[in-house]
Chain A
Amino acid sequence: MAKLTRDDVLKLAQLARISLSDDEVTEFSEELSAILQYVEQLSAVDVSGLVSTNQVTGLTNVMREDSIKDYGYAPLDLLKNVPKTQDNQLKVKRMIG
Chain B
Amino acid sequence: MASEDTRRQYTVTIGIECHVQFKTKTKLFSAADNDAREAAPNTLVNHIDFGLPGALPVLNKEAVRLACRAAFALNSEPQKFSKFDRKHYFYPDLPMGYQITQFDEPIVLGGSIAIEVAGERKTIGITRAHMESDAGKSTHPAGGDYSLVDLNRAGTPLLEIVSEPDMHSAAEAKAYARELWLRMKYADVSEANLYYGNMRFDVNVSVSKTDQLGTRTETKNLNSFRSIERAVDYEVERQIQVLEDGGEIVQETRGWDDTGLKTFSQRTKEDAHDYRYMPDPDLPPIVLEQSYIDEIKASMPALPDDYRRILSEIGIDAKTTSDIIAVPDTAMTIKHVYEAAGGPHAKRVAFWLLQPQSDDGEAGTETEVKAPEEQLIKLSQMVEGNKLSSTAAKEVLAEVLKTGKDPEVVAAEKNLLQVSDEGEIAKIVAQVLADNAKAAEDVKNGEMKAIGFLVGQVMKLSQGKANPALATDLIKKQLGM
Contacts and interface: CB of A to CB of B under 8 A. Distances in A.
Contacts of A60: 284-287
A5 B464 CA distance: 90
B149 A55 contact: no
Given A15-B274, A94-B146, A63 B61 contact: yes
A91 B354 CA distance: 48
A96 B25 contact: no
Interface stretch (B37-45, B200-208, B358-366, B455-463): B37-45
B169 interface: no
Given A17-B90, A62-B283, A54 B58 contact: no
A95 B285 contact: no
A87 B148 contact: yes
Contacts of A54: 83, 279, 285
Interface residues of B, number: 51
Interface in A65-88: 65-69, 71, 75-76, 78-79, 81, 86-88
Contacts of B266: 96
Given A66-B61, A66-B62, A55 B150 contact: no
Given A66-B25, A66-B60, A93 B147 contact: yes
A88 B41 contact: yes
B386 interface: no
Interface string B89-112: 011100000000000000000000
B296 to A, nearest CB: 15
Contacts of A95: 91-92, 138, 140, 147
A64 B60 contact: yes
A90 B147 CA distance: 8
B141 to A, nearest CB: 9
Contact of B31 (A67, A75, A81, A91): A67
B33 interface: yes
A68 B145 contact: no
Chain B binding site: helix, strand, loop or mixed by DSSP? loop
B61 to A, nearest CB: 4
B283 A90 contact: no
B84 to A, nearest CB: 10
A86 B26 contact: no
B284 A91 contact: no
B31 A78 contact: no
B92 A92 contact: yes
Contacts of B150: 89-90
Contacts of B151: 90
A75 B44 contact: yes
B144 interface: yes
B148 A91 contact: yes
Contacts of A63: 58-61, 64
A77 to B, nearest CB: 10
Nearest to A70: B31
Interface centre among A87, A91, A95 (most CB of B within 10 A): A95
A43 interface: no
B20 to A, nearest CB: 17
B427 interface: no
Contacts of B32: 68-69, 71, 75
B24 A66 contact: yes
Contacts of B255: 96-97
Interface of A: 15, 17, 54-55, 57, 59-69, 71, 75-76, 78-79, 81, 86-97
